[in-house]
Amino acid sequence: MEVSQVVKQRKSIRGFLPNPVEDEVLSSLLEKAARAPSGGNVQPWRVYVINGARMNDFKTHIEDFALGEPEYPIYPPKLQEPYRTNRYELGEEMYALLGIPREDKAARLANMSKNYGFFGAPAAFFCFVDRNMGSAQWSDLGMFLQTFMLLAEETGLGTCAQEAWAMHQEAVAAFVKSPENEMIFCGMAIGYPDWEQPVNSLVSKRMPLDQWCTWA
């Protein structure tokens, strides 16, 4: 599969089959993803994998924890245009596919809570970073995660990067036993896509090139 095809094909999967993902497959993907660019070769990502029976253990574990405030702002407090519209339109398109109207707040909240079950994915990991790292190293995390997602796509797996897990820092840290100097950046749901679920037909739009690229 060509790189351009993998990039075009990749999407956030929010519905998975129960088919297991072997540890060996995850290990191979992570090792390859670690070739992602990293300024100064710092390699700031710290990854904690949950798979197999440990997934059920984790889901039981988080039932004892309430959502908290994220340690970093997932979105700016006042998201300006065109960014606000981009985010709003994606949400509306997703809920339309799910048949959930805007006024049904309870149903929307219930759907949002599926984040914390990894949308039914049988495998996942959490990406942490040392609290001393700066924005340059956080950009390294994005490159590592994108590389992993493209490699997973090539393998036939679906993924969903989930910053929503930043609101469950306490529960996740307690389960994976991460050291205090590390903070969570995001989770990553991993599994085989269930294409029967309408939400997986969602294709997010991208702005035209001339709206964000200037030839200087």
Q: One-letter amino acid identity for 57?
A: D
Beta-ladder partners of 183:
129
Check if CATH label 3.40.980.10 holds for domain 12-71+116-200.
Answer: no
β pairing state of 123-130 and 46-51: antiparallel
Instruction: Read off the pLDDT band of 97 (50, 70, 90).
Output: very high
Write the CB contacts of 127 (distance below 8 Å, at least 6 apart in sequence). 45, 46, 47, 141, 144, 145, 184, 185, 186, 187, 188
**CA 127 to CA 188: how far, in whole Å?**
8
pLDDT of 1 strictly over 90: no
Tell me if 192 sits within 8 A of 19, measured CB to CB. yes
pLDDT of 216 strictly over 90: yes
The tokens for 184 are 């969570």
Mean pLDDT of 12-31: 98
- The percentage of residues in the chain with a pLDDT greater than 90, rounded to a whole number, is 96
Question: Which residue ranges make up each domain of the chain?
Answer: 12-71+116-200
Give me the pLDDT at residue 131, please.
Answer: 97
Global pTM? Answer: 0.95
**CA 214 to CA 144: how far, in whole Å?**
27
In this structure, what is the dihedral angle of CA atoms 66, 73, 115, 162, given to the nearest 10 degrees?
-140
Whole-number average pLDDT of the chain: 96
- The percentage of residues in the chain with a pLDDT greater than 70, rounded to a whole number, is 100
Give me the pLDDT at residue 148, please.
Answer: 98
Give me the pLDDT at residue 19, please.
Answer: 97
End-to-end CA distance of the chain: 34
Specify the DSSP element, H or E, that contains 185.
strand 182-191
Give me the pLDDT at residue 93, please.
Answer: 95
What sections of 70-176 are H helices per DSSP?
83-98, 105-112, 135-155, 169-176
pLDDT of 121 strictly over 90: yes
Give me the pLDDT at residue 51, please.
Answer: 98
Instruction: Read off the pLDDT band of 50 (50, 70, 90).
Output: very high
